[in-house]
């Protein structure tokens, strides 16, 4: 596979391949606690970089702390991460498996980034993203903190997660240099279509989570399976990722996995090219 076929985008002060790796699934069940095999998680991370991944996305709440610690164990070379951009997120507290509580108090967000810096072993986060805007805290206070992270050099770039176009515009109006947006988006769920269009217009990286979830489009006899027949050896998941890459030049899918085999399958999507007719048929098949 040739990951450069996925295209590139500038993030964290570097040019990265647009097909990255999401490091949520290298934790335990419910994104809680350590994985069943930490050694396998480290192999997955190292193999991703061997295959050309230059963008890894994580969060302090994955574990919590587990994902960031594993990334440091697997990829830190003693001085940093070389050509690999590590993006992380903060703003969630965890009380148990599958339990997430947004906390956007400025002092807590500052604690989040400082602790992520310590766990990742860096003096500056490449890309730090607010995991959620806390509705109980004035959003301008949260935007002020994001802006201060860049001004103070704690983060090279900052971004937002699960937001609307109006919220992105509000952050920009508050002086936040929004470099990325991370929302749920895939072939089967395109509720963030207007946000993606805005990011494309603005040159903001759009990082879709759950990128392979194509819903009913992947059912037997469905449109993905039909197109897969014209691409021998290609899975419906690879086609779903290939469609995302063709959807917008700012799209940065981050499929995650805890398996080296599944990792290699996902990244092979960089070599898949849909014809215009195939692309359009999937675009219309919501």
Q: Is 107 exposed, middle or buried (0-12, 13-18, 19+ CB in 10 A)?
A: exposed
Residue 248 region by backbone torsions, left for phi larger than 0, else alpha for psi between -120 and 50, else beta: beta
Q: Which of 62, 81, 185, 198 is catalytic?
A: 62
For 275, other C-beta atoms within 10 Å of its C-beta total 11
Given the structure tokens 């350590």, which residue do they identify? 34
Residue 206: name the closest of 35, 18, 39 by CA: 18
Residue 106, φ and ψ in degrees, nearest 5: -50, -40
Q: Is 264 exposed, middle or buried (0-12, 13-18, 19+ CB in 10 A)?
A: middle
Q: Which two tokens stand for residue 63?
A: 């574990």
Please check whether residue 274 is in contact with residue 250, taking contact to mean a CB–CB distance below 8 angstroms: no
Instruction: Say whether 62 is catalytic.
Output: yes
Give catalytic residues, as residue numbers: 62
């Amino acid at each position: 596979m040739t990951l450069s076929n996925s295209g590139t985008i500038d993030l964290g002060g570097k040019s990265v391949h647009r097909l990255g790796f999401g490091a949520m699934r290298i934790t335990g069940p419910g994104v809680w606690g350590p994985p069943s095999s930490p050694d396998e998680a480290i192999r997955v991370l190292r193999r991703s970089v061997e295959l050309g991944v230059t963008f890894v996305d994580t969060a302090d709440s994955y574990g919590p702390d587990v994902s960031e610690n594993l990334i440091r164990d697997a990829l830190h070379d003693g001085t940093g991460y070389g050509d690999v951009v590590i993006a992380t997120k903060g703003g969630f507290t965890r009380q148990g498996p599958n339990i997430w509580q947004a906390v956007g108090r400025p002092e807590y967000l500052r604690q989040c980034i400082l602790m992520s810096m310590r766990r990742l072993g860096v003096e500056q986060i490449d890309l730090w993203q607010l995991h959620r805007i806390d509705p109980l805290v004035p959003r301008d206070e949260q935007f002020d903190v994001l802006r201060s992270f860049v001004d103070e050099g704690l983060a090279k770039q900052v971004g937002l997660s699960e937001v609307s176009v109006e919220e992105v515009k509000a952050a920009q109006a508050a002086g936040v240099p929004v470099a990325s947006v991370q929302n749920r988006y895939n072939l089967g769920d395109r509720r963030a279509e207007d946000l993606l269009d805005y990011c494309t217009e603005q040159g903001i990286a759009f990082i879709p989570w759950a990128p392979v979830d194509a819903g009913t489009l992947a059912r037997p006899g469905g449109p993905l399976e039909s197109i897969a027949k014209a691409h021998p050896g290609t899975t419906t998941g690879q086609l779903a990722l290939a469609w995302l890459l063709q959807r917008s030049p700012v799209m940065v899918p981050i499929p995650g996995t805890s398996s080296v085999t599944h990792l290699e399958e996902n990244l092979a999507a960089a070599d898949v090219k849909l014809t215009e007719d195939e692309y359009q048929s999937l675009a219309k098949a919501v």
